[in-house]
Amino acid sequence: MRGMRSNFFALIVLMLVAACTAPTASPSPTAPPSASATPASTTVAVEPFTTRQQFRLRDLPGAGRYPIALAMLDDKLYALNSVSQNLAVIQNDRVIKFIALNARPHALVADPNEKRLYVASEDKTITLIADDQIQLTENIGEASRALLFFENQLYVGLDSRNGIRVLDPATLATRASIAIPNSFTIISLAGDEVHHRVYANAYEKIAVIDSLTRRVVTTFDTKGSYQTLLANPRGENVLVGIYDSQTQTQHLTAFDPLAGKPGARVQLGGDPRAALISADGARAYIANSYTNDVSVIDPRTMTTVATIPVGMKPWWLSLAESARRLYVANYESDNVIAINTDTHQVVATIPLAMLPTALAANERAGRVYIANGSTDSVFVVEGARVVKEIPVGRHPIDLVYDAPANRVLVAHQADRTLAIIDDATFAVRATQPITRFVTTVETDPAKSRVFVNDVILDANSLAPIGALTMRGITIGSLIAPTFIRVHPHTNRVYANGGNGVPGSNGRHVTYSIDGDTLGQRTMLGYAGNTSAFTIDPQTNRVFLAGTHPLAYSNELTVFDANDQKIFALVLPARTRGMIFNPQTRHLFLAHADSMVSGGLRPAPADNTIQILDTDSFGQVASISINAPSKMARLGNTIYIAASDGTISVIQDAPAPRPPAPTPTFTPTAYPTLQPLTPRPTITPRPISAAALQGFQRGTMFANEKNQPILIFGDGTWE
């Protein structure tokens, strides 16, 4: 099988060389331009539109993005933020300070007696923090993923075959090294004070270490385990999260700490991550990152006490037992929520950064509603000020103003519910969970119905009355919508969703759907992923903006009411938001950081609002706004939300029509590609006996020296 693969790749390389060697014919200078050709943008010299006003939804001392760990010291809570590379200091349910770190952090732990914090980072350093200041940073020569402060020692789980380092907590000097047989990384650590043991989770294996002698007592297999690990404070057992591949469910399983024999188990949510247990061993809390909830378990009976909806991708937990509070760091919500451990109710949402997710306008009242995922709230804006902040459900992701009912419907991604806000009183009521994934809500007043992803609700009772799915390209693929908007003039429903193709040919596309039959008309053709779309109610045209995931090119594509592509325009950057103003016939496109091979990289048009005339598609103006995203319109006033929670207000106005862009021809995406000489194909080889393992759902790890991971059809990986 591997020989066939090598021959196949060699044939592909030879075909590419032959294609690259042949010269590319130049386009004819007299070739007639096409309406769907890819034109270059032309800017007309008019007075640029200016930002009229700016204001913030809420003031924060900085931004913490993607929290991965929590720690408590006295009355302060600390949140470690991966992408923003900082540590948030939280007191009285608000962030009071951010401590900048030198590299992306991996782990956090506290020494409650000496009031110290320790941070492990990807640059192979351990940082000691005291009095909210960095006191010491030491390079230990290897990256680490797990930290444990236990019996006045700092245990560092290494992201390599070298097991565990034991460091002096004051100087960060290495006191000991503990080798873990046949391991290639340490994922998590737990301590057992009763028996003086440290448990090291080495992926589908637990190593039991005597903390007095610092020697491995035994190891036992935990097939299907990944991160979740708890040491029962009563010393009875060790609790491990196990994935059951037969039933495709996760369980918390009790193991004998020496014999390694599994005992009772209880089902958890999807993809459990961090876990902790109360001091008396009466309650265990597990963060389920896939199902966006926390499981509350009684370890004595191994039964579920409660399941608490939280934010997007709960990643870490911290327990303040005297305050009866459980804190949850939500990785994709950029927040920490506080839960009362007696009632299991959320009592506070602490934003680490602002995260505007959707805007909707009530033109009759001159009001804009702004959903913000990190605050679990909707902000009400009139003019250039916030007049009300309305608490809603977990991680509001989309909202729509329902004019006939004078209400706002808010979709919550994390708890899968809707909030219904009365536009007159701002009173809120909520529904029960609606469907498996909730990312959008849209009203269709003419047919008295509401769309919530793949579920159709009665507009009055909000009871389910039907379903909406699309057909992907592959046979039998049913696609659930991720974003829906209705165009009543043409009785059309437009929905974003996958194209049903797995792998690198998978795309996020837009479907045209008949509003009467809910039958799929067509898939609006574009080779990339739709990132934003809007509708022109006067001409019934649909504007799509997207980015090609392989070529990293950006395009605006225009379709008519018959779903025919009539125009395409190369865009200078990635579009995250779009809105059309029928009064001026201007199309506003919010351009954020551009995608390139390897991630994000700034482009000249990043962080701008591009304004196009939709009759000529010439550029009217370009306005610099940092990290723009979603937008809303009140007459000729455009509200633009930035990722930091800044709202920019700009005034649109009629402008001279700019000339149409001149079509340009691109005969090949890579006209300067040079021929290459084929190289010998690579023969996969096992790195070691320990590296050959069954491949199941979870995370794979690359060997530190050799890097590549190869997956084979026989269910193994090397």
- pLDDT for 207 beyond 50: yes
Query: Max CA-CA distance within the chain?
Result: 86
Q: Which of 56-70, 144-158, 360-374, 601-615 has the lowest mean pLDDT?
A: 601-615
15 φ, ψ (degrees, to nearest 5): -65, -40
Which pLDDT tens digit goes with each residue over 409-459?
Answer: 999 999 999 999 999 999 999 999 999 999 999 999 999 999 999 999 999
Tell me the C-alpha distance between 283 and 281, whole Å.
6
pTM: 0.85
- pLDDT for 237 beyond 70: yes
In the numeric block, which tokens belong to residue 225?
Answer: 């385990």
504 φ, ψ (degrees, to nearest 5): -70, -15
Those residues with Cβ within 8 angstroms of residue 455's Cβ, 6 or more apart along the chain or in another chain: 434, 435, 464, 466, 467, 468
Q: How many CB atoms lie within 10 A of CB 513?
A: 22
Residue type for position 520? Q
Tell me the C-alpha distance between 258 and 206, whole Å.
10
Question: What's the pLDDT at 393?
Answer: 98
Pair 311, 355: CB distance under 8 Å: no
Pair 237, 284: CB distance under 8 Å: no
- The SS3 of residue 138 is strand
Burial (CB < 10 A; 0-12, 13-18, 19+), residue 437, is middle
Tell me the C-alpha distance between 637 and 659, whole Å.
25
E runs forming strands in 468-601: 470-471, 478-479, 483-487, 492-498, 508-514, 520-524, 529-536, 541-547, 554-559, 565-571, 574-581, 586-592, 594-596, 599-601
Which pLDDT tens digit goes with each residue over 516-543?
Answer: 999 999 999 777 899 999 999 999 999 9
Look at phi and psi of residue 113 and say left if phi exceeds 0, alpha if psi is from -120 to 50, else beta: alpha
Pair 71, 106: CB distance under 8 Å: no
Tell me the C-alpha distance between 220 and 232, whole Å.
17
Element (H, E) at 2: helix 2-21
Tell me the C-alpha distance between 630 and 356, whole Å.
8
661 φ, ψ (degrees, to nearest 5): -65, 145
Which pLDDT tens digit goes with each residue over 530-577?
Answer: 999 999 999 999 999 999 888 788 999 999 999 999 999 999 999 999
Q: How many CB atoms lie within 10 A of CB 88?
A: 28
Residue type for position 116? R
- The SS3 of residue 648 is strand
In the numeric block, which tokens belong to residue 301?
Answer: 């009976």
Tell me the C-alpha distance between 690 and 516, whole Å.
59
Tell me the C-alpha distance between 671 and 713, whole Å.
37
Question: What's the pLDDT at 382?
Answer: 97
What is the average pLDDT across 625-648? 96
Q: Which domains does the chain have, with CATH numbers?
A: 434-651 (2.130.10.10), 678-718 (no CATH)
CA distances from 689 to 225, 274, 685, 709, 717 (A): 20, 30, 11, 15, 12
Question: What's the pLDDT at 259?
Answer: 87
Pair 511, 468: CB distance under 8 Å: no
- The SS3 of residue 320 is strand
Place 604 in a pLDDT band, splitting at 50, 70 and 90. Answer: confident
CA 632 to mean position of chain CA atoms? 23
Residue entry with tokens 């194909």: 681
Which pLDDT tens digit goes with each residue over 462-483?
Answer: 999 999 999 999 888 999 999 9
Q: What is the rounded average pLDDT for all residues in the chain?
A: 87
Question: What's the pLDDT at 551?
Answer: 75
